[in-house]
Structure 1
Amino acid sequence: MNLNIDIQEREHIQHVSLSGEIDAYTAPKLKESILPLTQSSEAEVVVDLQSVTYMDSTGLGVFISALKSTKEYGSQLTLINPQERVYRLFKITGLTEIINIDTDSTVRGGL
């Protein structure tokens, strides 16, 4: 399966809607799309994971890279609406402690 990436800017916030699978095949495309969004001071990037049906460790690596980029450039990253199995991957790796993940779809109006 492929990964669909839809990026829209609303109210100075980059909204990224993902659907499909994030794995070794699709992660490079995701990284190419997300990292530039984080490389602007004061940028806010909200990634909606609601339609992500599968993610492996390469997907986690993309989000860790994006988080490092936000620290370097002074931007913000928020992940919203992960499905339970995707959220569990962040949880068991301890990434819920360092990446802002909101399971409430009302974050900034959701997507």
Structure 2
Amino acid sequence: MNLTIDTIEQEGFYQIKVAGELDVATVPQLQEVLVPIRSAGTHDIHLHIDEVTYMDSTGLGLFVGTLKELNKNNKELYVLGVNSRIERLFDITGLKDLMHVNQPVEGE
């Protein structure tokens, strides 16, 4: 399956909407978008994944790498629109305690 990624730069953050399956085959597409943003360290990232139908550990790994890079510059990663099945992955791995998962965000 393909992955669709829409990026909008807002004041202080990037809003990134992802749709499709996020797995070993498609993570490089999202990585291409995230790496320059997180490396610049100037914006938070609001990652909307409500249209992601499947995600494996490769996707989680990308989120962890993004979070670490953003935190170096006091920036945040918000993962929004997480369905119950994918939210369970965040719970099981303990990542829900490290990231802003389905938490309200100011400015949206």
Whether contact under 8 Å (2:78, 2:103) holds in the other structure is no
Corresponding position of 1:83: 83
CA distance in 1, matches of 2:56, 2:11: 32
- Note the aligned Cα RMSD (angstroms): 1.6
Matches within 5 A, 1:53-64: 53-64=53-64
Question: Would you say the 8 A contact 1:42–1:76 is kept in 2?
Answer: no
Q: TM-score, normalised by structure 2?
A: 0.90
Consecutive aligned runs of 4 or more in structure 1 exceeding 4 Å deviation: none
**Structure 2 counterpart SS, 1:89:** helix
Task: Kindly indicate whether the alpha-carbon contact (under 8 Å) linking 1:27 and 1:62 is maintained by their aligned counterparts in 2.
Answer: yes
Match of 2:95 in 1: 95
Partner of 1:65: 65
Higher mean displacement: 35-44 or 84-93: 35-44
Q: 1:56 deviation in Å?
A: 0.4
Partners of 2:59 and 2:41 lie apart in 1 by 24
Stretches of structure 2 that go unaligned for 5 or more consecutive residues are: none
Check conservation: 1:3, 1:21, Cα contact below 8 A.
Answer: yes
Q: Percent identity?
A: 34
> How many residues matched?
108
Does residue 8 of structure 2 align to residue 8 of structure 1? yes
The aligned residue for residue 36 of structure 2 is 36
